[in-house]
Amino acid sequence: MRNVILAESAGFCYGVERAVELAGKTADETGGCWMLGDLIHNAHVVEELAHRGIRKAEKIDGLTKEDTVVIRSHGELRSVLDELEAKGVRCVNATCPNVVRIQKLVAQAEQEGRRPVIIGEAHHPEVAGIASWCRHPLVFEGPDEVQKWLDADPQNRETPVTVVAQTTCIRSLFESSWKILKKECTNAKIFDTICNATHKRQTEAEEIAAKVDVMVVVGDRKSANTKHLTEICKKRCPRVFQIENADELSPDSFNGCSVAGLTAGASTPAGIIKEVYATMSEEIKAAGGKEESFEELLNQSFKTLNTGEKVTGIVTAITPTEIQVDVGAKQAAYIKLSELTDDPSAKPEDIVKVGDEIETYIVRVNDIEGYAELSKKRLDAVKVWENIEQAVEDKTVLEGTVTEENKGGIVVSVKGVRVFVPASQSGQPRGADLSAMIKQKVQLRITEVNRARRRVVGSIRSVSDEARKAAQEQVWANIEVGKHYTGTVKSMTSYGVFVDIGGVDGMVHISELSWSRIKTPSEVCKVGDTMDVYVISFDPEKHKISLGVKDRSVDPWEVFMDKYSVGDVASVRIVKLMTFGAFAEVVPGVDGLIHISQIADHRIEKPEDVLSEGQVVDAKITAVDEEKKKISLSIRALLAPSDEEDTADEAPVEE
């Protein structure tokens, strides 16, 4: 059997690993740099960093603008960061992204007139750093201090509060604290800021501690998350040792121990964990010191199955209702069809084959009857949650389908997990009908996960905004006068339309929409229309683009000259009425004047007595001024002459 159960999540978390990598990279680039205090809570790692040229400074007095400082993973006081900036010292911020988020939350809370409440250890550098991002923070280590503050002054219950947690806070302490505040305060906002990796590490350590004779926790004694791991393990295991390295272990620690557990804090390097694991295995064997019988060895060759654990086995048989799996245990194991897949029409043989290796979840173990019930479906669900949690840290873009609209937003199904997307993060305009998004496939990022409450929050807008920003940068990087785009009409005004040419809106003036005279853009297009446009001008600083639609390769005057001559009769459209006559469109982009004396075969007071804008009439071309591109038209010339009217031709009149 396995003498030591090693926690899968033991060792460096994402934030610590990122900080160490950033520090090493900075040292390589600069030839040596500084860290303020300990970069992470592990003396062994800090010593190794010193060998790589990363020196430790307790104060910033001696630093100059020639120096480079790496900010530790726990974060730093805002006043210190401001002073470094004032001195011109280059800073490389290795603060854990989870800590940065909490700093922003408390700063925002104070801007909104709310009192920031931090659940954590007041003297821990992470908490001190977070508190420095607001002026009047409240720091409580647990529910007792919360209740004491509430009881101290009745007005405290009326104070709007925003509640956050130290990333390594024990979940039970945080939950009991925020529940009191939620119940007794009239206006409380709660943000679960405990690191997902921390919660996973604590849960796993608790589960292992309940199964072993001795539990070993490895980590620096200054590390808060290591201390919390030890506290959690002591509740489930009577013998718990917190050590910094393998040298602190002894055979006496494992007297009477057959199975020991091992976990490690987030700042413990893999090398130390590996060394402790090997030492523990040897010490347990040495403490046992007895020769085992063949029967004992045979029994130990079988796995011990425990409800709730993962187990990998080989498919040995398939029936219409279940599959049988060899998991290397004394019990016979099987998976019901209902625990294999959610698809009621699926057949077992379509999902797995005899000989396939399959990873499953142990639902129930019956030692009396000698069988174990397994579930692949539940394990898949667990993996999905793990992937969802990892997606928060990695800021992964996921794809899902909108399944419903509910109060305040929409629900997106991501691999079977319900993700709530607030209306403000849906990517739709304020007040839009969100039900229109149902059944649409969307891309989103996960912004918040509370696995205990099965609550997941996501943002579609962050993905669409990022894509739009990238598209905008692409447009501005390649735009040039005369370049053609296929765009979409986004909005309309009385003076023109705005067209999206790939993330950037350009304006087409009404005069550029058509060669013909139009009064409103709606005469030629509508919102949503696809439009071929070209760039007339652009201003990158003001982010303004002027677009055109009219085909400049075609000269309307040449079209007119090719089609008509003096004496020809044309069907024209009245486009403008003046006191001296009417302008009529002969071909798109070319107008002619019908003088008031040439409108009718009798004297009229004003053109609108006979004509109206938009009216189509026949007119004779009586004169063409090619130099000024002016045309004279006559309706009267096509009518029988009247004795009382002057029949003299009129020269073209300027518009």
Residues known to be catalytic: 126
The strands making up 161-165's β-sheet, listed across from edge to edge, are: 138-140, 115-119, 161-165, 188-190
What is the DSSP annotation of 43-55?
A: HHHHHHHHHTTEE
273 SS3 class: helix
- Residue 513: name the closest of 487, 540, 478, 474 by CA: 487
In terms of residues, how long is the chain?
655
635 SS3 class: coil
Q: What gap in Å lies between CA 510 and CA 215, rounded to an integer?
A: 78
Please give, one letter per residue, the 3-state secondary structure of 582-626: EEEEEECCEEEEEEHHHCCCCCCCCHHHCCCCCCEEEEEEEEEEC
Q: What gap in Å lies between CA 620 and CA 570, rounded to an integer?
A: 6
Beta strands in 265-370 (DSSP E): 310-318, 322-326, 332-336, 357-366
Encoding tokens for residue 52? 């790589």
Residue 555 backbone phi and psi in degrees, to 5: -95, 110
Beta strands in 278-394 (DSSP E): 310-318, 322-326, 332-336, 357-366, 371-375
Query: What's the one-letter identity of residue 585?
Result: E
Side-chain half-sphere CA neighbours of 335 within 13 A: 33
What Rg, from alpha-carbon coordinates, does the chain have?
39
Query: What's the one-letter identity of residue 377?
Result: K
353 SS3 class: coil
Q: Is the dihedral of CA 102, 107, 111, 117 positive or negative?
A: positive
- Residue 655: name the closest of 624, 637, 629, 627 by CA: 629
Q: What gap in Å lies between CA 129 and CA 75, rounded to an integer?
A: 6
The strands making up 33-36's β-sheet, listed across from edge to edge, are: 54-57, 33-36, 68-71, 90-93
Alpha carbon separation from 40 to 3, 56, 128, 620 (Å, rounded): 31, 12, 15, 92
Beta strands in 367-519 (DSSP E): 371-375, 397-406, 409-414, 417-422, 441-450, 455-459, 484-493, 496-500, 505-509
The residue whose two tokens read 């001008």 is 537
Q: What gap in Å lies between CA 113 and CA 101, rounded to an integer?
A: 19
Residues 546/537, Cβ–Cβ less than 8 Å: yes
Residue 58 backbone phi and psi in degrees, to 5: -85, -25
Residues 262/9, Cβ–Cβ less than 8 Å: no
Q: What gap in Å lies between CA 232 and CA 234, rounded to an integer?
A: 6
Q: What gap in Å lies between CA 480 and CA 503, rounded to an integer?
A: 16
Residue 403 backbone phi and psi in degrees, to 5: -105, -25
The residue whose two tokens read 């976990």 is 263
Query: What's the one-letter identity of residue 419?
Result: V
